[in-house]
Structure 1
Amino acid sequence: MATVDEIDQDEMAAAMAAMEDEEEDGAKEASFRPAPERVLNQDEIDSLLGFEVENEQVGERTGIKAIINSALVSYERLPMLEIVFDRLVRLMTTSLRNFTSDNVEVSLDNISSIRFGDYLNSIPLPAVLAVFRAKEWDNYGMFTVDSNLIYSIVDVLLGGRRGTAAMRIEGRPYTTIELNLVQRMVEVVLQDAQAAFEPLSPVTLELDRIETNPRFAAIARPANAAILVKLRIDMEDRGGRIEMLLPYATLEPIRELLLQMFMGEKFGRDSIWESHLATELWSTKVPLEAVLDEQKLSLRDVMDFKVGQTLMLNNGPDALVEMRCGGVSLAQGRIGRMSNNVAVRIENGIKKKIHADATETGAAANPQAGARK
């Protein structure tokens, strides 16, 4: 008969065996269980789409946003723009010093390509947007003046103390005095931009309107590419930023000039090669034919030609002989003899006659031009 201790030991052994079986089954199920799906956090999603703040400040684009914006034309394909904007910086430094009677330093931050819609959405408000028109190019551009520069200009022009930062009042629209002062500064900058483009292509830049809402400053389609130039204006301890936006459609009339590597570059034209080609053409030997007479004969008569047969020509000894080159009539002359050679003396040049006819026709079409000649 079994004792109580033996019964307890048997039960404990059975329980341990059952636990081992359960652990083995659990391990097998775990080995066949699929791995849990990993969920991306917000930082990883922003990095994938290319909306990281650090990259935007540096100017780099990553992820899907880089693929979307890869179709933008880089301003580096227009090398003459850098020369124009460097000239603009020098002109603005002088003109703004005279305008503000203060020590002004203008620096060029960067030049980049951006879509017009993206730029409007990125403008920090409040700001003043000045839309200008380029007459000769028949299109528009835009200046954006940030609030720091607006209050700094107002403070300087109205006699604010030096050494103190300009006071900013948030939450209210700009007053008429502030807008007028900013408009005067923008007109000065427009004159400098006009002078900067003058050596390349004369253009007249006129201020069209002043806006404070970016929606009312639409000068191009949102998907159109544009060139953004960021300029920094420092007046001792005050200053701000002004940005110039030029759509590529505005610069299209002078695109060939902007493609130049240096001022006055000529594309596809070499004066040395032209002079060499002209010299070689003048010394080129061409075959010249003297046509005594032309007759039309049937093929039967031509096939019946015999050796020693004499062909009678219709021209007499004093008749004019036509001079041809490549089937083109050049002149007419009379045949004769010089020493032991048969020669032709030129009587009149057909080329001169054609030139005279063309001159008479042009004079008849334009009587004033004929009278001047």
Structure 2
Amino acid sequence: MLCNNRKGNVVEPILNKDQISELLLAIKSGQVSTDLQGEGDSVDRASVQSINLFQLGSGSDSQQRIPNFDIILDNFAQNFAITLTNLLQRSFTVTRAGIEPFEFQEYLVSQKDAGAIGVLSLDPLKNGALMLLDGELCFSLIEIMLGASTEMAPLHLDRKPTTIELNVLKSTMIRACRDIDKALEQVIALETTVIKVESNPRLVSIAEPDAEILVGSFIIKVGDLSGKFDMVFPVATLDPVREKLRDLLTVKTVKQSGWYDVLVREMEQMTTTIIAQSGTVTMPVHKVMKLKKGDVITLNYDPNSPLKVLVEENHKFFAIPGTIRGKRAIHLTGVYDQGE
């Protein structure tokens, strides 16, 4: 059956019920293909990648579920740089390179070249965390701790650190634990400790293989030397403090570097001027210049109304005058609301 439009042109044919039934049977039996591929078209199967719809967007979801975590890592980087500078008497800089989500097993497989891996306990949080130093950074830090110059060339040793070398690096990780506690003190009181230091990624399992983790990457620079290290946090570890992290930037919780407490304490000790005012009068200058002893100035003041109490020239309270133990005093009777 053909159908004509209003202009009389022939358009696509319309199938009747029998034809529709035959078409559905042919599709079901496989005689008619449902692919949209046209003649001469080809699909490059090699470029097709499988997608896990249940984990689609998990990376962005992880960072959304752990808000403001980048602020914590930036604070840790600043504190750790100061710690290394004071410890080794060299000028260190530590900067965060990024935050990325991974599956735990996938990440460990990619870290075959890691030099030292510290397993950290973040009591009272569960699961803990990892601190991974790359090989070059490990050996460079050891040399600097033993007195080497920062102008030396980076060491490229084709081996893992020895047990003695891992113990030397453990002291640095212990100090990093204190900086982790300091970075998170606005959110939770932690007691971070180093459980052990390994060089084999297979011996540092702190989560299930498919568990979701957040990896903070950092760059350390000292003199001509530089290296990388990662801080690994399972999402399950950070979930208990998710809401506190979300509120990290509110007025009540921002206490950067202790200055908040210092400013509040100093402001509380400031002095201010309080005036009990009965009335005011406006006079031209030439009359003020003619005032002399004995003159009476009429005030715009009702003796039966309360006094105005001014704090730094701003009306704040109402009061009535009186005396106490032979001295003049005022008794506050109310608080001034704007517009009264």
What TM-score do you get using the length of structure 2 for normalisation? 0.58
Q: Which residue of 1 aligns with 2:78?
A: 90
Matched letter for residue 126 of structure 2: D
| Mapped pair 1:254 → 2:205 | no
CA displacement, residues 72-92 of structure 1 (integer Å, 9 cap, x when unaligned): 433144333122112111101
- How do 1:103-252 and structure 2 match up within 5 A? 103-170=91-158, 172-252=159-239
RMSD: 2.5
- In terms of Rg, which structure is larger? 1
Matched residue SS, 1:132: strand
Describe the shift of the 1:103–1:112 C-alpha distance in structure 2 as closer, same or farther (beyond 3 A): same
Describe the shift of the 1:211–1:107 C-alpha distance in structure 2 as closer, same or farther (beyond 3 A): same
Answer whether contact 1:74 1:112 (CA < 8 A) is retained. Answer: no
Matched residue SS, 1:181: helix
Matched letter for residue 192 of structure 1: D
Matched letter for residue 77 of structure 2: V
CA displacement, residues 354-373 of structure 1 (integer Å, 9 cap, x when unaligned): xxxxxxxxxxxxxxxxxxxx
Give 1:127 deviation, angstroms: 2.1
Matched residue SS, 2:173: helix
- How do 1:7-156 and structure 2 match up within 5 A? 40=44, 45=46, 47-49=47-49, 64=51, 68-72=55-59, 73-156=61-144
**Equivalenced residues, count:** 215
CA displacement, residues 81-114 of structure 1 (integer Å, 9 cap, x when unaligned): 1221121111011101012211111001001222
Matched residue SS, 1:184: helix
Give 1:261 deviation, angstroms: 5.3
Q: Which residue of 2 aligns with 1:363?
A: none
Matched residue SS, 2:48: helix
Matched residue SS, 1:226: strand
Describe the shift of the 1:163–1:121 C-alpha distance in structure 2 as closer, same or farther (beyond 3 A): same
Runs of 4+ residues over 6 Å off in structure 1? 34-37
Matched letter for residue 137 of structure 1: L
Give 1:68 deviation, angstroms: 4.5
Q: Distance in 1 between matches of 2:172 and 2:250?
A: 29
Give 1:247 deviation, angstroms: 0.5
Give 1:146 deviation, angstroms: 0.5
Matched letter for residue 111 of structure 2: I
Matched residue SS, 1:255: helix
Give 1:139 deviation, angstroms: 2.7
How much identity, in percent, do the aligned residues show? 25
Q: Distance in 1 between matches of 2:121 and 2:145?
A: 27
What TM-score do you get using the length of structure 1 for normalisation? 0.53
Describe the shift of the 1:92–1:68 C-alpha distance in structure 2 as closer, same or farther (beyond 3 A): same
What are structure 1's unaligned runs of at least 5 residues? 1-33, 50-62, 267-373
Bigger fraction of residues in helix:
1
Q: Distance in 2 between matches of 1:83 and 1:39?
A: 46
Answer whether contact 2:65 2:242 (CA < 8 A) is retained. Answer: no
Matched letter for residue 73 of structure 2: F
Give 1:164 deviation, angstroms: 2.0
